[in-house]
Amino acid sequence: MPSHRHQAPNLKSMLKQIQTAVGHSCEWIGLRYTSDDTRTIVAKNGKYDYSGEMLLAGIMVEVMFDGQIAYSATADLSSAGILRATESAIKWAKLAAPFRIFNFTVEQRPKAVGHYISPHLKGLDKLSYKEILDTLIQTSERLKCADEIIYSHAYSQLAQRQMHFVSTNGSDFQTEILIGMTDLQATAMRAGESQTRTHIDGLKQQGLESMEREKFLHIAERVSCEALELLSAPNCPSDTRDLLIMPDQTVLQLHESIGHPLELDRILGDERNYAGHSHVKLSDFGKLQYGSKLLNVTYGPTHPNALASFQFDDGGAEATKEYLIKDGLLVRAIGGAESQARAKVPGVACFRSSLWNRAPIDRMGNINLEAGDSSLAEMVKATQKGIIMRTNRSWSIDDYRRKFQFGCEYAQLIEDGRITTTVKNPNYRGISVPFWNSLKMVGNQSTVEALGTFGCGKGEPNQGIYVGHVVPACLLENVEVFGGGK
């Protein structure tokens, strides 16, 4: 089917026109064209449910005047429209410059030239609604394998981003990313009590090739069986025991209790009115033992297929793999060039905007927990009294990112080195730094999964962005666990 696409504008000639018209009244101009094309396709209870397309494309004009950067976004891509946006940006840069928080220079907008295309075999142009829906309808039907399954869905989202950036100091780079994700879910109900199991397949950079019917049908069987199994499972016990978190929970634990507190703009206070502050202080870098010796966390923008891989961040900084936490020691922050200049601590290329109409801020890219050397079997065997938790369903942490609580869909007790009873409504709570210092074993490569989250929220104005996490299973000592009920 021919798609209704946006014609990418000729940014270089636009920039020339603007420079001629108003270039003399500011120090630097950048133009970023972003197009986000998202397809959402859903089947529910073995029937077709929804399909929709969203195409958000526009230009963000950035100007620098007297050390202050101002942004102006417009979807009017005519010469007059871009000029109007530029004039508005110049106006605000001039008004704000006397009150600026920092005197920025073009050093924070280095020249970047290149072209990144995310790995995929089948692009959006190959999309056949009929084919995908056949798969999703069948999968949601398979999920609804018993009368006690009262609800099931198979939900796919394919998102394609195209970004092009040019600037008066010679930047000219493009980023093309295609993300594919399918979410399978079944809810079982008996005597007024319901239990849900979810599987998120392929939250990563990939194409339509990820939509494999046989794989989905296979997963669907396990998901619905586990939902039914939970109906007769006892509640999670309330006590202290070793906690083995599988990748689809490790993701959230890493995201909330390591990713966010290491964000430099939070440490600098920018987010104190919204997303929150951080327990990490600028003086902690190079000194704070964030976790046990087994904890190694990296910024991994070059990881193939991980959700947030790219060549340059939105400020034009070249993205390279860096250790944030090495052998448990905090060494580097998640902060882009602007925050690094303000804070004078080492950071990474992570200055990202969520959409065409938002300014870049410090974001996680791919924040990964490096694999250890233990197999899952070894971790279970080494545990006398423990619990395995799978699939996050609840997350909450304070504004300094210390006191967290997580809930999962499915858990199994470990007794004397063996997996025994399945339990429902598992939750645990703890405090970030002591928790990671109790990290006892880290799963090897065979336990690693590339996952992430689609809607990490932050910023004023608010921005929801996708971030990647490539993570293994992790075993933590003496964690406070508990079950559900009022």
Structure tokens at 460: 């004023």
Q: C-alpha angle with apex 473: 471 to 475, nearest 5 degrees?
A: 130
Q: C-alpha angle with apex 318: 317 to 322, nearest 5 degrees?
A: 110
Which residues, 6+ apart, have CB-to-CB distance to 100 below 8 Å?
Answer: 66, 67, 68
Residues paired with residue 422 on neighbouring β-strands, in sequence order:
412
Answer whether 112's CB lies under 8 Å from 312's CB. Answer: yes
75 binds another protein, rule: CB under 8 A: yes
358 binds another protein, rule: CB under 8 A: yes
> Shortest CA distance to 192 belongs to which of 148, 160, 147?
148
Report the site for another protein in 92-151 (rule: CB under 8 A): 92-93, 95-96, 99-101, 128-130, 133, 137, 150-151
83 binds another protein, rule: CB under 8 A: no
Structure tokens at 262: 């290491």
Pick between residue 196 and residue 383 the one whose CB is nearest to another protein.
196
Q: Which stretch binds another protein (CB under 8 A): 203-211, 215-223, 282-290, 425-433?
A: 425-433
Pick between residue 423 and residue 456 the one whose CB is nearest to Zn ion.
456
> Shortest CA distance to 41 belongs to which of 136, 177, 171, 180?
136
Structure tokens at 403: 């006191």
Residue 277's binding partner among another protein, Zn ion, none (Cβ under 5 to 8 angstroms by kind) is another protein
SS3 431: strand
407 binds another protein, rule: CB under 8 A: yes
Residue 78 per-residue DSSP state: S
Answer whether 196's CB lies under 8 Å from 390's CB. Answer: no
Q: Which stretch binds another protein (CB under 8 A): 19-27, 167-175, 297-305, 397-405?
A: 397-405
> Shortest CA distance to 295 belongs to which of 175, 474, 139?
474
Report the site for another protein in 360-379 (rule: CB under 8 A): 361
Among 16, 213, 326, 429, the residue binding another protein under the rule CB under 8 A is: 429
Among 408, 456, 475, 476, the residue binding Zn ion under the rule CB under 5 A is: 456
Answer whether 353's CB lies under 8 Å from 338's CB. Answer: no
> Shortest CA distance to 107 belongs to which of 320, 361, 349, 316?
316
| Least gap, CB of 132 to Zn ion (angstroms) | 29
Pick between residue 241 and residue 458 the one whose CB is nearest to Zn ion.
458
Among 68, 249, 296, 311, the residue binding another protein under the rule CB under 8 A is: 68
Among 269, 286, 304, 434, the residue binding another protein under the rule CB under 8 A is: 269
H-helix or E-strand containing 133?
Answer: helix 129-143
Among 18, 57, 211, 319, the residue binding another protein under the rule CB under 8 A is: 57
CA atoms in the 13 A half-sphere facing the CB of 98: 2
Size of the residue set binding another protein (CB under 8 A): 89
Residue 456's binding partner among another protein, Zn ion, none (Cβ under 5 to 8 angstroms by kind) is Zn ion
| Least gap, CB of 161 to another protein (angstroms) | 15
Question: Residue written as tokens 């980023």?
Answer: 175
Question: Residue written as tokens 């993570």?
Answer: 471
| Least gap, CB of 296 to another protein (angstroms) | 27
Structure tokens at 27: 């120090």
Residue 484's binding partner among another protein, Zn ion, none (Cβ under 5 to 8 angstroms by kind) is another protein
Answer whether 411's CB lies under 8 Å from 426's CB. Answer: yes
Distance in angstroms (rounded) separating the CA atoms of residues 254 and 417: 26
Residues paired with residue 41 on neighbouring β-strands, in sequence order:
51, 156
| Least gap, CB of 268 to another protein (angstroms) | 7
| Least gap, CB of 435 to another protein (angstroms) | 12
**Site pattern 193..232 for another protein (x: CB under 8 A):** xx-x------------------------------------
Among 210, 427, 432, 447, the residue binding another protein under the rule CB under 8 A is: 427
Dihedral angle computed from the Cα positions of residues 10, 14, 16 and 19, in that order, rounded to the nearest 10 degrees: -160
| Least gap, CB of 465 to Zn ion (angstroms) | 9
Pick between residue 6 and residue 213 the one whose CB is nearest to another protein.
6
Residue 392's binding partner among another protein, Zn ion, none (Cβ under 5 to 8 angstroms by kind) is none
Distance in angstroms (rounded) separating the CA atoms of residues 158 and 165: 23
Among 189, 217, 228, 329, the residue binding another protein under the rule CB under 8 A is: 189
| Least gap, CB of 106 to another protein (angstroms) | 17
Residue 13's binding partner among another protein, Zn ion, none (Cβ under 5 to 8 angstroms by kind) is none
Distance in angstroms (rounded) separating the CA atoms of residues 349 and 259: 14
> Shortest CA distance to 430 belongs to which of 368, 485, 486, 481?
481
Pick between residue 77 and residue 361 the one whose CB is nearest to Zn ion.
361
Residue 320's binding partner among Zn ion, another protein, none (Cβ under 5 to 8 angstroms by kind) is none
25 binds another protein, rule: CB under 8 A: no
| Least gap, CB of 395 to another protein (angstroms) | 6
Distance in angstroms (rounded) separating the CA atoms of residues 423 and 225: 14
Among 11, 14, 77, 143, the residue binding another protein under the rule CB under 8 A is: 77
Pick between residue 285 and residue 428 the one whose CB is nearest to another protein.
428
Positions that interact with Zn ion (CB under 5 A)? 456
